[in-house]
Amino acid sequence: MTKIDILKLKNVFSALANEKRIRIIELCSQKGRTVTELSKLLKLNYSITVEYTSMLAKVNLVEKKRNKDRTVSVKSLIKLNNCGEIKKI
């Protein structure tokens, strides 16, 4: 049995401890979104949205990619269902 990395797990759970960050995952699992789109959909300040998506990317829940037009796309690496289950995409 491998030893669980408690710090990594703690960071994942911290990232999921905010309703708006969970909503980002949900929106980005349907289709990739830009940070600007997420900001508007969630009625969040752009800089907060950047902070939230960066936090999720740091723990490998989403992937961020800079596009040629300088926008940043966000794609979820997991899918959440209504029962609270998390599935890797």
Give the pLDDT band of residue 86 (cuts 50, 70, 90).
confident
The helix, strand and coil proportions of the chain, stated in percent and rounded to the nearest 5, come to 50, 20, 30
46-76 pLDDT per residue, tens: 999 999 999 999 999 999 999 999 999 999 9
Please give the C-alpha separations between residue 6 and each of 3, 11, 14, 16, 40, in angstroms, as whole numbers: 9, 9, 12, 15, 35
Is the confidence at residue 84, as pLDDT, over 80? no
**CATH number at 6-82:** 1.10.10.10
Q: What is the pLDDT of residue 1?
A: 46
pLDDT on residue 83:
79
Count of CB atoms situated within 10 Å of the CB of 26: 12
For the stretch 3-44, pLDDT in tens is: 778 888 899 999 999 999 999 999 999 899 999 999 999 999
What's the maximum distance between 2 C-alpha atoms anywhere in the chain?
A: 46
